[in-house]
Amino acid sequence: MSTTYLEAIRQGMWEEMERDPNVFLLGEDIGVYGGAFKVTAGFFEHFGEKRVVDTPISEAAIVGAAIGAGLMGLRPVAEMQFADFITCGFDQIVNFAAKCRYRWGAAVPMVVRAPSGGGIHGGPFHSQNPEMWFVRTPGLKVVAPATAYDAKGLIKSAIRDNDPVIFFEHKGLYRRIKEDLPAEDYTVPIGVAKVAREGRDLSIITYGAMVWTALEAAGKLAEEGASVEVVDLRTLVPLDRETVCASVKKTSKALLLHEDTRTGGMAGELAATLTEAVFEYLDGPIVRVTAPDTPVPYSPPLEQAFLPNVEKVVEKARWLWRY
């Protein structure tokens, strides 16, 4: 039976709560209501109010309580109803949770779930991809799965990890992506990318929902004779530079794709990495396909123009392939 991306996250959290009584959930409307996207539906009834905690509308309080619980030996999974609202808990994440191990060796085994991304006509306050705020903060791990298999395996790894993990789950994938999952327990290691499609002419490096955009674009380019490799980062911190560099060494051309805005985005970090490590292998310029440097529009036609899509990727990749 096929499992959705949303259900995969549900299963991962449920299994970890069954496995470890120290795991608990907290967030706005996650209990009785079952969560804004119904990810936690049924958890309250099964695990009870002490392990599925409905909180006030205060991300600062949610994050602060999670940090305290983590320091006392529990394993909190805190939900931000939308990733955009993580700003209200930003100070405690980047100035406290991220620095505890560095300052006095204290583990903070905390997961912050952040439903992110556009394509749902949510406007500028419910559609952002704020991963880079955390990628540049030492002490945090940042995860962004694209598939149901990886979403389940990585949420389980994140819960078991002894450091704070920011877990970006793309809202547009929740019910759109399905696959058959193993019946047995499994995890996906944090910090390991994967090659989602093998190719020889050009590498597309991406993560999250854009993996599916890249795969569709690669399929269209294959009809024209181009062999495109797609690398799914899966984890942004730690970044698997070895897999990225190995792919570009093989194909000699790199297109960097993300839904986040352009300036200061992950593509810039990847471009610098490739320039430093594999410059002599490149047969063309490093190309970026990203959202522009604007807030996410509410208007559906404007949002469509804002977001990277298959047509934009094919156009840029075709140009690079022929370079």
**pLDDT score, position 232:** 98
Residue 187 lies in a domain: no
Q: What is the residue-level pLDDT of the chain in tens, covering all 323 positions? A: 799 999 999 999 999 999 999 999 999 999 999 999 999 999 999 999 999 999 999 999 999 999 999 999 999 999 999 999 999 999 999 999 999 999 999 999 999 999 999 999 999 999 999 999 999 999 999 999 999 999 999 999 999 999 999 999 999 999 999 999 999 999 999 999 999 999 999 999 999 999 999 999 999 999 999 999 999 999 999 999 999 999 999 999 999 999 999 999 999 999 999 999 999 999 999 999 999 999 999 999 999 999 999 999 999 999 999 99
Residue 256 lies in a domain: yes
Count the Cβ atoms, other than its own, within 10 Å of residue 304.
13
Q: Whole domain around residue 275: which residue ranges?
A: 194-322
135, 154, 180 - which closes a domain: 180
Residue 111 lies in a domain: yes
| Torsion-angle region of 35 (φ positive above 0: left; ψ -120 to 50: alpha; else: beta) | left
Helix axes 5-19, 148-160, angle to 10 degrees: 30
Q: Are residues 218 and 152 in the same domain?
A: no
Residue 186 lies in a domain: no
**pLDDT score, position 3:** 97
Q: Are residues 204 and 169 in the same domain?
A: no
Backbone angles phi, psi at 78, to 5 degrees: -100, 130
Q: Which are the catalytic amino acids?
A: 126
Q: Are residues 92 and 167 in the same domain?
A: yes
**pLDDT score, position 96:** 97
Q: Are residues 66 and 7 in the same domain?
A: yes
Q: Are residues 16 and 127 in the same domain?
A: yes
Q: Are residues 6 and 140 in the same domain?
A: yes
Q: Are residues 105 and 25 in the same domain?
A: yes
Q: Are residues 172 and 206 in the same domain?
A: no
129, 146, 180 - which closes a domain: 180
Q: Are residues 150 and 206 in the same domain?
A: no
Q: Are residues 173 and 227 in the same domain?
A: no
pTM given for the model = 0.97
The vertex-168 CA angle with 24 and 63, nearest 5°, equals 45
Q: How many domains does the chain have?
A: 2
Residue 54 lies in a domain: yes
**pLDDT score, position 1:** 74
Residue 284 lies in a domain: yes
Count the Cβ atoms, other than its own, within 10 Å of residue 180.
10
Task: Return the H-helix or E-strand segment holding 306.
Answer: helix 300-306
> What CATH number is attached to the domain comprising 28?
3.40.50.970
Q: Are residues 226 and 201 in the same domain?
A: yes
Q: Are residues 160 and 46 in the same domain?
A: yes
Residue 41 lies in a domain: yes
Q: Which is nearest to 67 in space by CA: 176, 165, 142?
A: 165
Residue 189 lies in a domain: no
> What CATH number is attached to the domain comprising 278?
3.40.50.920
119, 146, 180 - which closes a domain: 180
